[in-house]
Amino acid sequence: MNPRRLTLILVPYLWLLALFLVPFLIVLKISLSDTAIAIPPYIPKLDLSTGWHGITAFFADLDFENFVFLAEDDLYWKSYLSSLRIASISTLLTLLVGYPIAYGIAQAPEEWRPTLLMLVILPFWTSFLIRVYSWIGIISNEGLLNQALISSGLIAEPIQIMNTTQAVYLGIVYTYLPFMILPIYSALDKMDVSLTEAAIDLGCSRRQAFWLVILPLSRPGVIAGCFLVFIPALGEFVIPSLLGGSDTLMIGKVLWEEFFSNRDWPVASAVAVILLGILVLPIMLFQRNQERQQETDR
Amino acid sequence: MAQPQPQNVFAPWADPAEKPLIRFEGVTKRFGDFVAVDDLNLDIYEREFFALLGPSGCGKTTLMRMLAGFENPSEGNIWIGGQNMKGIPPNRRPVNMMFQSYALFPHLTVWDNIAFGLRREGMDKDRMRVRVDEMLRLSRLEKFAGRKPHQISGGQRQRVALARSLAKAPKLLLLDEPLGALDKKLRQDTQFELMDIQEKTGTTFVIVTHDQEEAMTVASRVAVMDHGKLVQVATPAHIYEAPETVYVADFIGDVNIIEGTVIPAQGNRVDITYAEGKPPIRAATDKTLVPGQRVSFAVRPEKILVSREMATERTNAVKGRIEDIAYLGNISTYHVRLDSGHLVSAQMTNRNRLERREFTWEDEVWLSWTETAGIVLTE
Amino acid sequence: MNGRLTWFNVTSLTLGFAFLYLPMLILILYSFNESKLVTVWGGFSAKWYGELLRNEQFLDAFWVTLRVGLISSTLATVLGTMAAYVMVRGGRFFGRTLFTGMIYAPLVMPEVITGLSLLLLFIAIGLDRGIFTIVLAHTTFSMCFVSVVVSSRLVTFDRSLEEAALDLGATPLDTFRLVTLPIITPAVISGWLLAFTLSLDDLVIASFTSGPSSTTLPIKIFSAVRLGVSPEINALSTLMIAVVALGVITASLVSKNALRRQRREKQEAFAA
Backbone angles phi, psi at B228, to 5 degrees: 80, 5
- Amino acid identity for residue A97 in this structure: V
Residue B67 shares a structural domain with residue B28: yes
Mean pLDDT of A26-46: 69
Query: Can you tell me the distance from the alpha carbon of A218 to that of B353, in angstroms, rounded to the nearest whole number?
Result: 56
The domain of B337 spans 254-377
CATH for the stretch A66-297: 1.10.3720.10
Amino acid symbol at B122:
G
Average pLDDT over residues A276-285: 88
Nearest CA in chain A to C81: A12
Count how many Cα atoms sit within 13 Å of the Cα of residue B191 in the half-sphere of its side chain: 19
**Alpha-carbon span C49 to C54, nearest angstrom:** 9
> Taken in order A106, A107, A110, A116, is the CA torsion positive or negative?
negative
Contact assessment for residue C136 and residue C202, using Cβ atoms and an 8 Å cutoff: no
A14 in contact with C, Cβ within 8 Å = no
CATH at C74: 1.10.3720.10
Mean pLDDT value across residues C140-168: 92
Q: Which of A235, A191, B73 is nearest to C2 (CA)?
A: A191
In the structure, what pLDDT confidence band is assigned to residue A298 with cuts at 50, 70 and 90? low
- The C-alpha atoms of residue A215 and residue A208 are separated, in whole angstroms, by 10
pLDDT at B1: 42
Touch C-B: 3+ C-beta pairs under 8 A:
yes
Burial degree of A1 (CB within 10 A; 0-12, 13-18, 19+): exposed
CB-CB under 8 Å, A122 with C244: yes
CA separation for the pair A85, C133 (Å, rounded): 35
Query: What pLDDT, in 10s, does the model give residues B322-340?
Result: 999 998 888 899 999 998 8
CA distance B373 to chain C (A): 46
Share of chain A above pLDDT 70, in %: 89
| CA atoms of A226 and B261, how far apart (whole Å) | 69
Q: Are residues B240 and B283 in the same domain?
A: no
Q: Is residue C3 part of a domain?
A: no
H or E, element range at C87: helix C56-89
Q: How far apart are CA A170 and CA A243, in angstroms?
A: 9
Is there a contact between C225 and A136 if contact means CB atoms under 8 Å apart? yes
Identify the band that residue A226 occupies on the pLDDT scale cut at 50, 70 and 90: very high
Q: What is the DSSP letter of B235?
A: -
CB B82 within 8 A of CB B30: no
Task: Give yes or no: residues B238 and B264 share one domain.
Answer: no
Quick one: closest CA in A to C196, which residue? A125
Residue A65 above 90 pLDDT? no
CA C45 and chain centroid, separation: 32
The predicted pLDDT at position A207 comes to 83
Q: Kindly write down the DSSP assignment for every residue of B80-117, as one continuous string.
A: ETTEE-TT--GGGSSEEEE-TT----TTS-HHHHHHHH
What residue spans of B122-166 are helical by DSSP H? 125-138, 154-166
Separation CA C178–CA C243 (nearest Å) = 34
Q: How far apart are the first and last CA of chain B?
A: 18
Q: Would you place residue C3 in the very low, low, confident or very high pLDDT band (cuts 50, 70, 90)?
A: low
B contact test, residue of C168, C185, C189, C261 with most B CBs within 10 A? C168
CATH number at B349 reads 2.40.50.100
CA-nearest residue to C227 within chain A is: A242
Question: Residues B231, B291: one domain?
Answer: no
Reported confidence tier of residue A42, pLDDT bands at 50, 70, 90: low
pLDDT at C66: 94
Residue C269 forms contact with B (CB below 8 Å): yes
Peptide bond into A44 cis (omega under 30): no
> For residue range C96-149, what is the model confidence (pLDDT) as tens digits?
889 998 998 888 889 999 999 999 999 888 888 999 999 999 999 999 999 999
Q: Is residue C18 part of a domain?
A: no
For residues A243 and A241, what is the distance between their CA atoms, to the nearest angstrom?
6
**Dihedrals φ, ψ of B96, to 5°?**
-125, 160
pLDDT tens digits, one per residue of B38-68: 999 999 999 999 999 999 889 999 999 999 9
**Mapping DSSP to helix (H, G, I), strand (E, B) and coil, where does residue B165 land?**
helix
Chain A residues within 8 A of C85 when measuring between CB atoms? 8
Looking at residue C252, its pLDDT comes to: 77
Number of Cβ within 10 Å of residue B4's Cβ equals 5
Whether chains A and C touch (3+ CB pairs under 8 A) is answered by: yes
Is B6 part of a structural domain of the chain?
Answer: no
| Integer Cα distance of B239 and B245 in angstroms | 10
Q: Which chains touch A (3 or more CB pairs under 8 A)?
A: C
Contact: chain B with chain A (3+ CB pairs below 8 Å) = no
**ipTM here:** 0.87
Cα four-point dihedral sign A76, A77, A78, A82:
positive
Same domain, yes or no, for B211 and B108?
Answer: yes
C268: pLDDT strictly greater than 90:
no
Q: How many CB atoms lie within 10 A of CB C251?
A: 14
Chain-chain contact of B165 with C168 (C-beta, under 8 angstroms): yes
CB spacing of C265 vs B144 below 8 angstroms: no
- pLDDT score of A48: 56
If you average pLDDT over residues A248-253, what whole number do you get?
88
- Looking at per-residue pLDDT, the higher value among B117 and A3 belongs to B117
The per-residue pLDDT for A32 is 81
Is the confidence at residue A38, as pLDDT, over 80?
A: no
Predicted local confidence at residue A45, as pLDDT: 57
Does B227 share its domain with B299? Answer: no
Chain C nearest-CA distance from B165, in A, is 7
Are residues A104 and C124, on separate chains, in Cβ contact within 8 Å?
Answer: no
Domain hosting residue C243, numbered range = 48-249
Closest listed residue to residue B359, CA positions, set B312, B316, B307, B303? B307
Residues B193 and B217 in one domain: yes
The reply to whether B4 falls in a domain is: no
**Mean pLDDT over the full length of chain A:** 85
Lowest mean pLDDT across A124-138, C24-38, C175-189? C24-38
pLDDT category of residue A267 using cuts at 50, 70 and 90: confident
Ranges of chain B with pLDDT below 70: 1-8, 354-355
pLDDT value of residue B230: 93
- What is residue C251's predicted lDDT score, i.e. its pLDDT? 80
Domain count of chain B? 2
Binding-face residues of A in 197-256 toward C, CB within 8 A: 206, 214, 231-232, 234-238, 241-242, 252, 255-256
Residues B316 and B194 occupy one common structural domain: no
- Read off the pLDDT of each residue in C74-80 and give the average, rounded to a whole number: 96
Task: Name the packing angle between helices A113-125 and C7-30 (round to 10°).
Answer: 40
Report the distance separating Cα B260 and Cα B270, nearest Å: 11
Phi, psi torsion values for B346, nearest 5 degrees: -135, 145
pTM attached to this predicted model: 0.81
How many domains are contained in chain C? 1
Work out whether strand B83-84 and strand B75-80 pair parallel, antiparallel, or are unpaired: antiparallel
For β-strands B34-44 and B49-53, DSSP reports them as: unpaired
Q: Is the dihedral of CA B177, B183, B186, B187 positive or negative?
A: positive
Considering only CB atoms, A40 lies closest to which of C24, C123, C137, namely C123
State the average pLDDT over residues A183-195: 87
Put simply, the answer to whether B151 touches C174 (Cβ < 8 Å) is no
CA distances C117 to A25, A27, A238, A250, C109, Å, are 8, 6, 18, 19, 11
- Beta-bridge partners for B301: none
Say yes or no for a CB contact (<8 Å) between C163 and B70: yes
Based on the fold, state whether residues B223 and B128 are members of the same structural domain. yes
**Domain identity same for B238 and B281:** no
Best residue in C11, C89, C111, C112 for a mutation probing chain A (most A CBs within 10 Å) = C112
Asked which of B250, B267, B299 is the last residue of a domain, the reply is B250
Distance from CA of C185 to the nearest CA of A (A): 18
Secondary structure (H, E, C), chain A:
CCHHHHHHHHHHHHHHHHHHHHHHHHHHHHHCCEECCCCCCEECCCCHHHCHHHHHHHHHCCCCHHHHHHHHCHHHHHHHHHHHHHHHHHHHHHHHHHHHHHHHHHHCCCCCHHHHHHHHHHHHHCCHHHHHHHHHHHHCCCCHHHHHHHHCCCCCCCCCCCCCHHHHHHHHHHHHHHHHHHHHHHHHHHCCHHHHHHHHHCCCCHHHHHHHHHHHHCHHHHHHHHHHHHHHHHCCCHHHHHHHCCCCCCHHHHHHHHHHCCCCHHHHHHHHHHHHHHHHHHHHHHHHHHHHHHHHHC
Contacts of B97 in chain C (CB under 8 A): 163-164, 167
Give the gap in angstroms from C-alpha C164 to the nearest C-alpha of chain B. Answer: 6
Domain spans of chain A, in order of start:
66-297
Q: Is the CB of B99 less than 8 angstroms away from the CB of C262?
A: no
pLDDT at position A31 is 84
Query: Is the pLDDT assigned to residue A159 strictly greater than 90?
Result: no
Mutate to test the interface with C, among B96, B148, B151, B165 (most CBs of C within 10 A): B151
Predicted confidence at residue B2, as pLDDT, reads 46
